[in-house]
Structure 1
Amino acid sequence: MPRALNARRLRRAAVTAAVLAGLIAVPPPTMAAPPAATASVPGDPLAGSGAVNRTQLTAAQLSGGSAEDTVPDSAFALPAQAAPPAHSFEGTLALEGLSAAGGFRALKDPHGYGDTEATRHLPPVDIALVQNGSHLVPAKRGLQYTGNPAWNLAVGPGRAWNEDGDGERTRASLPFALVERNANCVHNGALTFLFDATSISEVRYQITTETCEYFQFDMWGQVPADYRPEPVDGAENLRHAYAAEVKDRLPTKPISSLATDHPDSGVDVTKFGSGITPSALSTFGLYFDGVHYVGNCRTRQGQYPFCGQMLLPSYSTAKSAFAGTAMLRLAQRYGPAVAREKLSDRIPETAGKTAWSGVTLDHTLDMATGNYTWPGYERDESGRTMADFFAAEPYAGKMRLALSFPRKARPGSKWVYHTSDTFLATRVMNNYLRSRAGSGADIFDMLRDDVLKPIRVGPDSLASSRTDNSPGGAPFGGYGMFWTQDSVAKFAKFLNNDHGNVNGSQILDPTLLAATMQRTPEARGMTTTGTKPMKYQNGFWGREFTSADHPAYTSPFSVPFMSGYGGITVAMMPNGATYYYFSDNNEFSWTAAVAEAHKLAPMPGTAVTAR
């Protein structure tokens, strides 16, 4: 379910990249082995002729034109007749004059974020890049703190190719995303330029899509750039790593192939992505039977040219994917008693606050601390205290507000949703981990190294937003992660199909995971409030389906799911299918997708015990 927060509490607190010699009589020295050849990226080399009929962002326009507005996003995409790149990029790309350049058009901005000058322009862009064949790879992936008062930045892997109309220069295009400082909104764009061995054209950029309920805009511009050809640290490792990353992605087909692959099922592929306003739908997909069926990535100028690299915000799916999963990993490493760790023993700031006595990690992850102001469905989550909590950037302010709710009920007895509770749970786990692994340990780093990397989640998803707008801050826990299509499908597969096991090694506590995934009838979690009560356990939601939902459901079954603000769902069904979508119009519609997935393989009942 979504966090029922209004955008006001997500306001920014600050807007607010030989000579060989020898003698006949002396044996020659042993020669070092030549470096291994770079592993090529699957799909390379390009096979086009270079005969591209280009009318947008031509060589002449990139060499001295101006950006008057956004253009079709296809102008940034790799064309069908792209020829292999004649030049290879290695060095640093820096965009110049960004603070005053370009255009901005607010499309939805009820709180006036776009009135602030910094919000209307890109933050500093200074990135190191290497090239593997036709692929451009940033040296740093995922969230990058810029120090800009409005935006942080992420740059994804792009492409380089030749077109006949570009003369002797090679054309490059890269996806990038602006990430709202101290929040989780993501605005996706692309940039493009021409280059040769020593020089670069101007850089054209635009943003035409986002996953952000309360702030939507177009941004565009064309600026001079500085290309500094130079060796990039670890360049060869970066090339090899990216080739492995692409090779390790789940097998992918368009969503339309689902009906072709399962012709006797009667599945209606139009039901996937349905129920969501098309203009608000960033992307969607279904993982089933070893194949990742993906939808497109919509923008206001066509399709996003780097759909597989579109950066997607987690919002409250992080409560499941980060906080809940971190607890399952700690339980497997150190024993399930970790769930009974008390906040008063692990968070120094609770000293003297009797309201937090007796509250455990388990209570906190279940939203059952007993501390709240109003018991109504997510009423506290929409209130003043939580607005201030989200707005607070320093750790001390966030912690003070998270601990400010009064005791109203016995811990473990009542469900009241607070994102601040997940922040507290994350801090408990962080401090517990330090007591076991050393003072330098970090709970998100543990999740990254023990879970995300072993399941081969891509680098774009290996960072989390933190307090103090700093990589040294405390991770938010309840929001602030990032997904791509492949990473969200892999993570769901790890939980739903692989049961927390990687290559024969059990990574997550199997008993606690089974309960979390609604596979243990006697341990379903807290009952939520609202118009349709559900279950909530360890940061995951659970919804029961019966014949009242659909006549085909002859046996009741439960679907555990992750949910995020604005319209994000990752539903992991007991028949092994996972359906996800990312949107930003407060629409949570996915029961039709469950019905279609049931046609692919009937849902087993829920009377399943932990293995």
Structure 2
Amino acid sequence: MRRSLSSVLCGALLATALVALSAPPSMAAAVPVPGDPLTGSGAVSRTVLTSAQLASGAAPAAPVSNDAFTLPANAAAPAHSFEGTLTLNGVAASGSFTTLKDPYGYASTAALKHLPPFSVQLVQNGSHLVPVARGLQYTGSPYWNLAVGAGRAWTESGDGGQTRASLPFAMIERNANCVHNGVLTFLFTGTSVSNVRYQVVNETCEYFQFDLWGQTTATYAPGGVSGAEAVRAAYATEVSGRLPSKPISALATDHPSAGVDLSAFGGGITPSALSTFGFLFEGVNYVGACPTRQGAYPYCSQMLLPSYSTAKSAFGGLALMRLAQKYGPTIAGELVKDHVTEASGTAWNGVTIDHALDMATGNYSSAGYEVDEAGSTMSSFFLAESYADKMTAALSFPHKASPGSIWTYHTSDTFLATRAMDDALKDRAGSGAEIFAMLRDEVLKPAGVGPDALTTLRTGNSASGAAFGGYGMFWTQDDIAKVAKLLTVDDGVANGAQVLHPGLLDATMQRDPADRGVTTTGSVPFRYNNAFWARDFTSADNAAFTTPFSVPFMSGFGGISVALMPNGSSYYAFSDNNEFAWNSVVVQSNKLAPMASGGGTGSCTAGDLLGNGGFETGTAAPWTASAGVIDNRTSLQPPRTGSWKAWLNGFGTANTETLSQTVSIPAGCADAAFTFWLRIDSAENLANVYDTLTLTATPAGGSAATLAQWSNLDEAGYARKSYPLGAYAGQTVTLKFTGSEDYSLQTSFVIDDAATPAAG
């Protein structure tokens, strides 16, 4: 029998059995977090934030280096386990504050210069301290809300038998999206806790920057945590599910022949204004550091980052694509006034949800580039906290043009669009449905977005209020990379299901030449479609751009950019000095994988040049394949979509299998590309290459060129691959997969949903 169950699973079952036999009893208490346990001796030389200093009641004179809050290299496993509630006492009057930038005079309010009420339930998994509640938490403070991230616990020899803890947290401006990142530390035993030292020395906020620090008493109430074991297990799963991450320097090491200039990444941004950046390429999140005014942030991977207007794309745009996938794309054409009762005037006649997301309602004061956004009406909208006041401001622009004819940027338009989508969802799913909850549960969670990014600002400063839509979400490095991956690499497929409407996604990503959105005003015209920006690139931008292409991007107030390149890479940068510099990264990305046009600037007839790309005919033609490669069994190697796929190898014996198709690339189709989804499953258990899959392209009368090669070391679930074929325009080319296994331990190479799209 081809690929028996025993040949595929025997290695995995044996490994599982060995772990079960060798695991210590404590392992049964919680799923361990990857990287635990700590193995240091605890011999740490410490002169800052010593146990004596944390026991002292003296107020600190200034912030200290973040190194003092960071898990040291020689940390030993924690001697105690924290499970209960930590409450910081007297925060309304404690601490010091230094203003660094404050043009609007916020710091003239003395009460604003302190932490908000701070009480957090925590559980511990190994050396990891995990808050029970993650993401934005409403505190009731007139000025600040709060988010607490997962920290660490460890033992140092100088702490007198106590366990040392450190936690990241973020102060979030009430009714606003500014995030000020901090860190705290304390010592604890099974029943007691020391004073807590804290400091905030970083922010992503263009208009309000400060240092805040202090030391205060705290209370530890052990126990009382409902579902503690589930919280521990969920955090272990969360960490193991993060994208592979490497420092940005590794990009040059991993791709030495590309000649990548690393200075482009994070370049063009004032260093003191940069919070962090990252570049997603071939499934790896190459990340920059997280600098602060006191050195590197101890929890860079968990630094909380504001969305600002990237939420217009990641909330408004994604929500519409999800609704269209569930209920059909005509939902985009439903009228705002039919779903938002307050929009009853004639100004909203004919204005659709799509018009509102495209910033083309025809209702505005000035058509100048973002003039209205900086005006008094939008100021009233941003300052309004109640739903009624926000809605009144959003509807107060006068009617001046036909819907869809003029682009005028208003954050309030996205608020109206999300309100309309919320009502459209309720019409179909019942009054208990809610638009952000749908986005969270049906798009973000399946895409692997973590709990720090699963909350949003709402009206009334309340969890029961209406989601803002146009701003108010939050990101970590991993979370924004996963959203980018969902759009650029996974084609709207999350956890094996199509969660975003393919047609709307293609239009949003500038792959549909018939729907590129509206053209913006301003000195540099952009495209704006479904709440996503896009910029066209040609050889005038760089001589290497021999084929024109378009880069969709998300953009946020102050200096936030998320560029979504058509070669599958993505770049994000979070800063707060009004610097939006990413064009040079496009040049570097093109060195790694030349851009294929997304469809907006192509010159040949649009369509798929490949036949039977999903193998759903149940036969190979027009492919040529080894016997049995076209397969519809799902128990071991499932198709990505439909019932059929191509399954090469997987025997666990020496063999070679092939799959090929000859494609004609019309002249002028310089943006043609070969795309497909690849799943690699292997029972090999050593870090050596034993089994390989090679993709070649052979033009008629020419020699084969290797486009890519994979091995058992590349084991992963379905991932989208794309390779430009513009060099073969005007020719026929044979695309061929060759899979080879050695004499033992199976590796399966599974291909589905192949295509060779050409843009018209």
TM exceeds 0.5? yes
Question: Distance in 2 between the 1:118 and 1:443 partners?
Answer: 35
For residues 148-163 of structure 1, the aligned pairs below 5 Å read 148-163=141-156
Instruction: Give the deviation of 1:66 after TM superposition.
Output: 2.6
Structure 2 residue 387 is the aligned partner of structure 1 residue 395: yes
What are the Cα deviations for residues 371-393 of structure 1, in whole angstroms up to 9, with x where unaligned? 00111000011100000000000
Could you tell me which residue of structure 2 aligns to residue 433 of structure 1?
425
What are the Cα deviations for residues 296-334 of structure 1, in whole angstroms up to 9, with x where unaligned? 001000000000010000000000000110000000000
Secondary structure at the aligned position of 1:142 is classed as coil
Structure 2 residue 472 is the aligned partner of structure 1 residue 518: no
Q: Is the 8 A contact 2:509 2:598 kept in 1?
A: no
Could you tell me which residue of structure 2 aligns to residue 470 of structure 1?
462
Could you tell me which residue of structure 2 aligns to residue 253 of structure 1?
246
Question: Distance in 1 between the 2:371 and 2:418 partners?
Answer: 23
The match for 1:458 among 434, 443, 450 is 450
Q: TM-score, normalised by structure 2?
A: 0.75
The match for 2:536 among 544, 566, 569 is 544
The match for 1:343 among 336, 344, 347 is 336
What are the Cα deviations for residues 565-586 of structure 1, in whole angstroms up to 9, with x where unaligned? 0000000101111000000000
What are the Cα deviations for residues 345-401 of structure 1, in whole angstroms up to 9, with x where unaligned? 1011122x1111110001000000000011100001110000000000000000011
Secondary structure at the aligned position of 1:348 is classed as coil
Could you tell me which residue of structure 2 aligns to residue 212 of structure 1?
205
What are the Cα deviations for residues 199-242 of structure 1, in whole angstroms up to 9, with x where unaligned? 11000000000000000000000000000111311100000000
Letter in 2 for 1:93: L
Instruction: Give the deviation of 1:37 after TM superposition.
Output: 3.4
Question: Distance in 2 between the 1:489 and 1:355 partners?
Answer: 39
Structure 2 residue 67 is the aligned partner of structure 1 residue 77: no
Structure 2 residue 101 is the aligned partner of structure 1 residue 108: yes
The match for 1:359 among 338, 351, 369 is 351
Letter in 1 for 2:82: F
Could you tell me which residue of structure 1 aligns to residue 306 of structure 2?
313
Structure 2 residue 272 is the aligned partner of structure 1 residue 272: no
Question: Distance in 2 between the 1:35 and 1:558 partners?
Answer: 50
Could you tell me which residue of structure 2 aligns to residue 175 of structure 1?
168
Instruction: Give the deviation of 1:504 after TM superposition.
Output: 3.0
What are the Cα deviations for residues 526-561 of structure 1, in whole angstroms up to 9, with x where unaligned? 000111001000000010000000000000010000
Question: Distance in 1 between the 2:361 and 2:122 partners?
Answer: 47
What are the Cα deviations for residues 401-439 of structure 1, in whole angstroms up to 9, with x where unaligned? 101111100001110000000000000000111111111
Q: Is the 8 A contact 1:93 1:128 kept in 2?
A: yes
Letter in 2 for 1:539: A
The match for 1:143 among 111, 116, 136 is 136
The match for 2:326 among 330, 333, 343 is 333
Could you tell me which residue of structure 1 aligns to residue 376 of structure 2?
384
Structure 2 residue 42 is the aligned partner of structure 1 residue 59: no
Could you tell me which residue of structure 2 aligns to residue 121 of structure 1?
114
Structure 2 residue 284 is the aligned partner of structure 1 residue 291: yes
Question: Distance in 1 between the 2:441 and 2:470 partners?
Answer: 19
Please identify the structure whose Cα radius of gyration is greater.
2
Question: Distance in 2 between the 1:507 and 1:202 partners?
Answer: 47
Could you tell me which residue of structure 2 aligns to residue 23 of structure 1?
none
Question: Distance in 2 between the 1:113 and 1:346 partners?
Answer: 38
Question: Distance in 1 between the 2:82 and 2:598 partners?
Answer: 54
Letter in 1 for 2:276: T
Secondary structure at the aligned position of 1:569 is classed as strand
Question: Which runs of 5 or more residues in structure 1 are unaligned?
Answer: 1-33
Secondary structure at the aligned position of 2:578 is classed as coil
Question: Distance in 2 between the 1:170 and 1:605 partners?
Answer: 56
For residues 555-574 of structure 1, the aligned pairs below 5 Å read 555-574=547-566
Could you tell me which residue of structure 2 aligns to residue 374 of structure 1?
366
What are the Cα deviations for residues 227-271 of structure 1, in whole angstroms up to 9, with x where unaligned? 011131110000000000000000000000000000000001121
Question: Distance in 1 between the 2:487 and 2:111 partners?
Answer: 41
Q: Is the 8 A contact 1:280 1:585 kept in 2?
A: yes
Question: Distance in 1 between the 2:299 and 2:250 partners?
Answer: 20
Instruction: Give the deviation of 1:344 after TM superposition.
Output: 1.3
Instruction: Give the deviation of 1:45 after TM superposition.
Output: 0.3
The match for 2:230 among 222, 231, 237 is 237
Could you tell me which residue of structure 1 aligns to residue 653 of structure 2?
none
Question: Distance in 2 between the 1:537 and 1:605 partners?
Answer: 17
Instruction: Give the deviation of 1:605 after TM superposition.
Output: 2.1
Question: Distance in 1 between the 2:511 and 2:182 partners?
Answer: 41
Could you tell me which residue of structure 2 aligns to residue 406 of structure 1?
398
Instruction: Give the deviation of 1:181 after TM superposition.
Output: 0.3
For residues 489-508 of structure 1, the aligned pairs below 5 Å read 489-508=481-500
Cα RMSD after superposing both structures = 1.3
Question: Distance in 2 between the 1:542 and 1:92 partners?
Answer: 47
Question: Distance in 1 between the 2:394 and 2:276 partners?
Answer: 33
Letter in 1 for 2:227: G
Question: Distance in 2 between the 1:74 and 1:489 partners?
Answer: 27
Could you tell me which residue of structure 1 aligns to residue 614 of structure 2?
none
Could you tell me which residue of structure 2 aligns to residue 29 of structure 1?
none
Instruction: Give the deviation of 1:521 after TM superposition.
Output: 1.4
Could you tell me which residue of structure 2 aligns to residue 26 of structure 1?
none
Structure 2 residue 479 is the aligned partner of structure 1 residue 487: yes
Letter in 2 for 1:231: G
What are the Cα deviations for residues 164-217 of structure 1, in whole angstroms up to 9, with x where unaligned? 010110000000000000010000000000000111100000000000000000
